[in-house]
Amino acid sequence: MFENLQTKIERAFKTLKGEGRITEINVAETMKEIRKALLDADVSYKVAKNFTDEVKQKALGQNVLTAVKPGQMLTKVMHDELAALMGSKATDIHLKGSPAVVLVTGLQGSGKTTFTGKLALQLRKNGRTPLLVAADVYRPAAIEQLKILGTQVEVPVYAEEGNQNPVQIAKNAIDFARRNSCDAVIVDTAGRLAIDEVMMKEIEAVKKAVQPSETLFVVDAMTGQDAVNTAKEFNDRLNFDGVVLTKLDGDTRGGAALSIRAVVQKPIKFMSVSEKMDGLLVFHPERMADRILGMGDVVSLVERAQEQFDEAEARRISKRAAKNQFDYNDFLHQIKQVQKMGNVKDLIAMVPGAAKMTKDIDVDDNTFKGVEAIIGSMTPHERENPDVLNGSRRKRLALGSGRSIEEVNRLTKQFDEIRKMTKGGSAGIKNMMSRMQGMR
Ligand SMILES: Nc1nc2c(ncn2[C@@H]2O[C@H](COP(=O)(O)OP(=O)(O)O)[C@@H](O)[C@H]2O)c(=O)[nH]1
Ligand SMILES: [Mg+2]
């Protein structure tokens, strides 16, 4: 699914590789590539442009975190914006009323009948007692097809051979459902090859007659921009509640999945990934964004680093540093922060394929053991007044902490360097954090 788009996005990110930070220029370049990738995936120009503008703005507004690279940060921003574009959260269908009525609409061949069978199966598995209704009266084969699916998923099918009035059939089906204690009615309607006034009028009439609690629009994801245009026309007429994307198992370019929500302002609720009856999935925008980027591991890394990085603390320390008050307590505190990021490494190591990522963060729980032991042996007075650490005090610290005198000397030297760096304001602090990550 979406392989082409994935490859192109990956290529776009290469522009950022090796860059130290996100700048107006390198983001603009990357976004130009991303926009091209989206257009190639058949996303509409307007949607693609809005999207890349938004990502660019958000990326430039991000804090620079030592534990993540610009490309990783941008991946996270892209991920969140992709998910937002597709609706952010999964949305349930409404099943209200007794029986609850679900009306299924869409063009011919989009996968309506297949979807009604799949939905019936899901509802039955969720403890419902559904009824399938054959309101596609124009092709005798359509009724037969629904009956076969009904048998497969063990859900009864209501049909009236010879009755050419879908409104009447749908109403009768609801009476039938009430008499037979079915609590959900799924109405399969007739489509056309293209938007057609007679079809629209008919579906409008069925909708008015059965008052569905959920009207779904089924669309073939392979049709790209056409899918989006059809969705718009159906929505203008029917004001549907949600979209079902089908045939995502084919080599669809992804344009429909990415643009529909932005164009009709209705959620994608399901996605269909095979002809088989169990091939129906709830549509999760976040998971879809993971899939498109193929970088779920990076996203969780950045999230964790963002959680751990305490901006307020960094500001507090840079203020102290400016007044030349940076001491071993602050130092220890910073070490703890870096260590928390170190734990991220353990977390990531469990994600398959993340090995290449973890080498970017050279921190583990043992990194600072010696440093912590030495600072632990200092008196409160020494911690607050780093300059009193003369030769004899350093010797005492080595004995007390069980580390060598060389190690103690190295630490005090590193501390002095870091203290100098922290005078450079918050940029200095970030510098310090990355310096500390390299410390052994
Ligand atoms: N590969 C694939 N084929 C599908 C999917 N959904 C439906 N189909 C096939 O698409 C064709 C049209 O489906 P159908 O349900 O009859 O469409 P309808 O005319 O809208 O009722 C059939 O051959 C289905 O088997 C899907 O998610 N994946
Ligand atoms: Mg059909």
State pTM to two decimals.
Answer: 0.70
Residue 20, pLDDT score: 62
Q: In angstroms, what is the span from residue 106 Cα to ligand 2's centroid?
A: 9
- Choose from 21-35, 352-366, 370-384 the range with maximum mean pLDDT: 370-384
Calculate the average pLDDT of the chain.
Answer: 83
Q: What is the mean pLDDT of residues 171-197?
A: 93
Quote the radius of gyration of the chain (alpha carbons, Å): 30
Nearest to 418 by CA among 347, 317, 336, 343: 317
pLDDT (tens digit per residue) in 118-175: 999 999 999 999 999 999 988 878 999 999 999 999 999 999 988 999 999 999 999 9
Give the integer Cα–Cα distance in Å for 253 and 436. Answer: 45
DSSP H/E element including 345: helix 328-349
For ligand 1, atom 3, the nearest C-alpha belongs to 275
Q: In angstroms, what is the span from residue 220 Cα to ligand 2's centroid?
A: 13
Give the integer Cα–Cα distance in Å for 377 and 397. Answer: 6
Choose one of 110, 114, 203 to mutate for the ligand 1 pocket test, by most ligand atoms within 8 angstroms of C-beta.
Answer: 114
Give the integer Cα–Cα distance in Å for 428 and 349. Answer: 30
Per the CB < 8 A criterion, the answer to whether 172 and 155 are in contact is: no
| Higher per-residue pLDDT: 417 or 413 | 413
Q: What is the mean pLDDT of residues 220-239?
A: 91
Residues with CB under 5 A from ligand 2 (ion): 112-113, 142
pLDDT (tens digit per residue) in 62-104: 766 666 777 778 888 888 999 999 998 889 999 999 999 999 9
Nearest to 129 by CA among 92, 188, 169, 176: 176
The closest ligand to the CA of 119 turns out to be 1
The tokens for 189 are 């309607």
Q: In angstroms, what is the span from residue 170 Cα to ligand 1's centroid?
A: 22
Query: How many CA atoms, within 13 angstroms, populate the side-chain half-sphere of residue 334?
Result: 29
Nearest to 261 by CA among 44, 34, 38, 112: 44
Q: What is the mean pLDDT of residues 40-62?
A: 88
DSSP H/E element including 216: strand 214-220
What is the DSSP code string of 147-197? HHHHHHHT--EE--TT---HHHHHHHHHHHHHHTT--EEEEEE---SS--H
| Higher per-residue pLDDT: 299 or 230 | 230
Residue 346, pLDDT score: 44
| Higher per-residue pLDDT: 322 or 76 | 76
Q: What is the mean pLDDT of residues 282-311?
A: 71
Q: Which ligand 1 atom lies nearest to the CA of residue 188?
A: 21
118 lines ligand 1 (CB under 6 A): no
pLDDT (tens digit per residue) in 330-365: 888 777 766 665 554 444 343 333 334 334 444 445
For ligand 1, atom 14, the nearest C-alpha belongs to 111
4 CB-near residues (< 8 Å, 6+ apart): 40, 41, 251, 253
Q: In angstroms, what is the span from residue 137 Cα to ligand 1's centroid?
A: 18
Residue 319, pLDDT score: 75
Residue 322, pLDDT score: 73
* DSSP reduced 3-state for 122: helix
277 lines ligand 1 (CB under 6 A): no
Phi, psi (degrees; rounded to nearest 5) at 105? -125, 165
Q: What is the mean pLDDT of residues 283-288?
A: 87
Evaluate the CA torsion angle 23, 28, 34, 38 in order and state its sign.
positive
Give the integer Cα–Cα distance in Å for 347 and 355. Answer: 11
212 lines ligand 1 (CB under 6 A): no
